[in-house]
Amino acid sequence: MSASPLTTSRRDLLKAAAGAGALLVFARPQAASATARFVGEIGPFVRIDADGAVTIGCHVGEMGQGVSTALPMLIAEELDVPFERVSIQAMPLHLARNARGQARSHLGAGQSTAGGSNSVRVGFMPLRQAGARARLMILEAAAERWRLPVGELKTEDGVVRHAASGAAATYGELAGEAAKRPEPIGEIVLKTPDRFSVIGKPQRHLDADRIVRGEALFGIDAEMPGMLHAVVARCPYLGGKVATLDEAHALKLAGVVAIVPIPVADAPAPPLAPQSTPLAAGVAVVAMSFWEALQASDALKITWSRGAGAAADESSARAYADTWAKMESTPGDVVRKDGDFANLRSLKTVSARYEAAMVAHACMEPPNAIVSVDPDGKRACAILATQAPDVAAATIATVTGIDPLQIDVTLARMGGGFGRKFDQDMVAEAAIIANAVRRPVKLVWTRDDDLQHDLYRPGACHILDAAVAPGGRILGWRHRLATHSRLAGAAGDLAPRLTEYYPDGFPAGHVPNMEVEYHLLPSAAPRGAWRGPGHVVNAFAIECFLDEIAVASNRDPVELRLDMIGTGGAHSYMYLPQMPRRTFDTARYAAVIRRAAEASGWGEPMPKGRGRGFAAHFTFESYVAEVVEVSVEGGRLRIDRVTAAVDAGLIINPNGARAQIEGSINDGLSAALGQAITVRDGQVEQRNFSDYEMLRMDGAARRIDVSFIESPEPPNGLGEPGVPPLAPALANAIFAATGVRLRRTPMLPDLQAALAAV
């Protein structure tokens, strides 16, 4: 690929448009050289047809988080076109080398990655600039046509007007001339918020019509000509391997084309350099159809060897028991230490322990990947439902040895991501198989594969102690936690604790003496990022504990939090040491706490058997407080209502934002109530939805009210922040309704046992 990345991608969109007989305008990032252009820039996003139809490219994978609506809204705003006229196209990912020689999407280093709820936050300014550049090119085309100064022209709803002469032309009429214009240079002055006509107005999901018609939008639906299908039989033992393989029978079955081993190095969760993606040892069957591949993979005669060391007969029950004991007897890594907790011995102490099981992602679309390697092994292309297309391409390059610039990645819609499709194990497997057969291969994981070989959300043990003054003020806070850690296992990784506890989260800074200690909860099961990583389980422990302190000191849980915060203010907040610090503004935190309390009718009396519970959390720079209202009748739990108050800065698409919070609430219920991944005898026990209990209609929240704080602050993401407050608010509500204090997720088994005992 000798052409500059810009030219390549321009050519591609041109090609796409030429098919439709369209005229084009591009909002191209301008720059002197390919390198300068590469850094931090987002590429061409806009196409306008002669009939005025506007196509806007989306460079981030859609997985239900709504980016394919929210990001184009940012461009449409500055372009000044009515959003109803916009259609969206997933953008091709083309790689180029950056200044450091790494192959990255030219659309902006790392910005095509969907994670950390970052797409809207990171895209807010660059995408508006892209829209503004396109608009300026259209204005300049009009100015030239009419021989008028640009400054006298205005745009409105896709039309350029000159008030004095009455001249007017639609964007479609100007598109051809605008496309030929040189790139505008430098930053363009953007609209002030009072002039927004797209941002802040509720929009429906742009693909809603295609989804309800059942169109083939997802990775698992995609095809390539001549494509084969693969299923992998993976070792059921954590870190185990293939001992013996008898493939003779399977090879004779109808449709079977090849058997390809998936080799891995010795070690639990062996990393696939450089992406640290763990692969399970296995054997792939390649066939003419999925069904044939699945039949043949069942027919393989494989004996598996167990993992080495502790993995050989790992048991969750034993690992948790040992860890509880170790946390009591041995000091852990110090995560935070303010003042001296030990000095507060004379005060009243409140203590509690909380536990969380590992959970799986269980995206409704199971992992899959389509990869094709050319017969000469020099080029590859892929259609992927992935959250991290750059990393996917790098993974294919690592596996096949193909130059990353010779790898084409097309993004398909994801049937859920939640952090699972951030990792590249499915892509690595598909690349290994495609490289062996040198044909296009679609790899599909069965649900059993998915639950048995997920990158699980870490489970955890928490021991909390608080020293409370007679007036109810919390003077000391000691938090000892152990988690599986989503990083432990790969060589050269950061200390495991760094991804497991955010040391500046609440109540840090609001309790004078505070100590946090970390232990590793061992497991050979691979772990990954799960919607709101670290946050969900920590918030469960911390926010339940605050409720317990409130009850023990006869205080209202909302008032207790507000008292701790006082007037509030900006606190420096660390995500990871290598990342810029963020700001945790506890005045904004207090505002969502108050808003949720007001909107939910907090404090109003409730009939017997019903109760409200409160919790709040700061996740990825968004502030969310939730009140859960439950009733427990005849041993049955019902979620009557959940009220959420959210401060995520400026809200781009109020409808999409509300959908994210609603979904997070039901997803949070699902994970808190029924889901658990457990290991016994060195294997994950759960295999399918029959033994992995996910929320269904009957368990979902009957009513959800979401209230957004109106804010002029820059926007933050909302894909994750709605989840963390849910589990603690739920446990606190169940306590209020029944007096049963649940300190473990999943909660349902303990709730049922407690209710049966009364």
CA atoms within 13 A on the CB side of 4: 16
CB closer to ligand FES out of 63 and 160? 63
Residue 353's nearest CA partner among 477, 473, 460 is 460
CB closer to another protein out of 353 and 447? 447
Cβ-closest residue to ligand FES?
364
325 binds ligand FES per the rule CB under 6 A: no
Looking at 414, 544, 679, 742, which residue binds another protein (CB under 8 A)?
Answer: 414
CB of 289 to ligand FES, least distance (A): 16
Residues 236-265 binding another protein (CB under 8 A) are 254
CB closer to ligand FES out of 65 and 118? 65
Say which entry of ligand FES, another protein, none residue 667 contacts (CB below 5 to 8 A, set by partner kind).
another protein
Residue 339's nearest CA partner among 516, 539, 465, 573 is 516
Looking at 44, 61, 416, 489, which residue binds ligand FES (CB under 6 A)?
Answer: 416
CB of 421 to ligand FES, least distance (A): 13
**What are the C-alpha distances in Å from 624 to residues 557, 630, 745?**
16, 19, 21
209 binds another protein per the rule CB under 8 A: yes
Taking residues 125 to 164 in sequence order and writing x for each that binds another protein by CB under 8 A, - otherwise, the string is ----------------------------------------
CB of 724 to another protein, least distance (A): 15
Tokens matching residue 436:
């062996």
Looking at 655, 678, 685, 748, which residue binds another protein (CB under 8 A)?
Answer: 655
Looking at 3, 248, 317, 364, which residue binds another protein (CB under 8 A)?
Answer: 364
652 binds another protein per the rule CB under 8 A: no
β-pair partners for 154 = 161
Looking at 177, 314, 365, 629, which residue binds another protein (CB under 8 A)?
Answer: 365
CB of 698 to another protein, least distance (A): 4
CB of 748 to another protein, least distance (A): 16
Residue 71's nearest CA partner among 30, 42, 100 is 42
Of 49-57, 203-211, 433-441, 475-483, the window that binds another protein (rule: CB under 8 A) is 203-211
**Residues 6 or more apart whose Cβ sits within 8 Å of residue 192:** none
What number of chain residues touch another protein (CB under 8 A)? Answer: 63
214 binds another protein per the rule CB under 8 A: yes
**Residues 6 or more apart whose Cβ sits within 8 Å of residue 552:** 348, 350, 468
How is 326-381 classified by DSSP, letter by letter? Answer: HHHHS--EEEEEES-GGGGTTSEEEEEEEEE-BB----SS--EEEEEE-TTSS-EE
d(CA 73, CA 199): 6
CB of 717 to ligand FES, least distance (A): 18
Say which entry of another protein, ligand FES, none residue 214 contacts (CB below 5 to 8 A, set by partner kind).
another protein
728 binds another protein per the rule CB under 8 A: no
CB closer to ligand FES out of 43 and 417? 417
367 binds ligand FES per the rule CB under 6 A: no
Question: What phi-psi label fits residue 566: left (phi over 0), alpha (psi between -120 and 50 degrees) or beta?
Answer: left
The single residue listed with the structure tokens 């084309």 is: 257
39 binds ligand FES per the rule CB under 6 A: no
220 binds another protein per the rule CB under 8 A: yes
Q: How many residues does the chain have?
A: 758
Taking residues 683 to 702 in sequence order and writing x for each that binds another protein by CB under 8 A, - otherwise, the string is -----xxx---xxxxx-xxx
CB closer to another protein out of 551 and 700? 700
How is 403-427 classified by DSSP, letter by letter? Answer: -GGGEEEEE-B-S--TTGGGS-HHH
The 3 state secondary structure assigned to 299-329 is: HCEEEEECCCHHHHHCCHHHHHHHHHHHHHH
**What are the C-alpha distances in Å from 528 to residues 174, 269, 303, 360?**
49, 11, 28, 9
CB closer to another protein out of 217 and 734? 217
d(CA 228, CA 167): 58
Question: What phi-psi label fits residue 223: left (phi over 0), alpha (psi between -120 and 50 degrees) or beta?
Answer: beta
634 binds another protein per the rule CB under 8 A: no
430 binds another protein per the rule CB under 8 A: no
Residues 538-597 binding another protein (CB under 8 A) are none
Looking at 363, 383, 427, 624, which residue binds another protein (CB under 8 A)?
Answer: 363
CB closer to ligand FES out of 184 and 416? 416
Say which entry of ligand FES, another protein, none residue 620 contacts (CB below 5 to 8 A, set by partner kind).
none
**What are the C-alpha distances in Å from 574 to residues 167, 503, 580, 621?**
55, 7, 8, 11
Contact between 659 and 648 (Cβ < 8 Å): no
Contact between 437 and 258 (Cβ < 8 Å): yes
d(CA 458, CA 615): 21
Burial class of residue 331, CB neighbours in 10 A (0-12, 13-18, 19+)? exposed
Say which entry of another protein, ligand FES, none residue 291 contacts (CB below 5 to 8 A, set by partner kind).
another protein
d(CA 24, CA 134): 11
364 binds ligand FES per the rule CB under 6 A: yes
What are phi and psi for residue 232, nearest 5 degrees?
-115, 130
Say which entry of another protein, ligand FES, none residue 93 contacts (CB below 5 to 8 A, set by partner kind).
none
What number of chain residues touch ligand FES (CB under 6 A)? Answer: 3
Residue 370's nearest CA partner among 428, 435, 442 is 442
Looking at 8, 65, 372, 738, which residue binds another protein (CB under 8 A)?
Answer: 65
Tokens matching residue 219:
């990775």
268 binds ligand FES per the rule CB under 6 A: no
Residue 504's nearest CA partner among 566, 579, 613, 592 is 579
* 296: amino acid identity, one letter: A
CB of 114 to another protein, least distance (A): 12
**Cβ atoms within 10 A of the Cβ of 566, count?**
11
CB closer to ligand FES out of 236 and 416? 416
CB of 699 to another protein, least distance (A): 8
Q: Are strands 744-745 and 348-356 parallel, antiparallel or unpaired?
A: parallel
Q: Are strands 46-48 and 54-58 parallel, antiparallel or unpaired?
A: antiparallel
CB of 491 to ligand FES, least distance (A): 36
Looking at 417, 682, 715, 717, which residue binds another protein (CB under 8 A)?
Answer: 417
Say which entry of ligand FES, another protein, none residue 690 contacts (CB below 5 to 8 A, set by partner kind).
another protein
d(CA 383, CA 394): 14
Contact between 665 and 612 (Cβ < 8 Å): no
Contact between 463 and 327 (Cβ < 8 Å): yes
CB closer to ligand FES out of 90 and 148? 90
Looking at 29, 43, 57, 64, which residue binds ligand FES (CB under 6 A)?
Answer: 64
Of 4-12, 277-285, 376-384, 682-690, the window that binds another protein (rule: CB under 8 A) is 682-690
The single residue listed with the structure tokens 């050979």 is: 524
629 binds another protein per the rule CB under 8 A: no
Say which entry of ligand FES, another protein, none residue 684 contacts (CB below 5 to 8 A, set by partner kind).
none
- List contacts with another protein (CB under 8 A): 62-66, 204-205, 207-209, 211-218, 220-221, 229, 254, 289-291, 362-366, 413-418, 444, 446-447, 655, 659-660, 662-667, 669-670, 688-690, 694-698, 700-704
- List contacts with ligand FES (CB under 6 A): 64, 364, 416
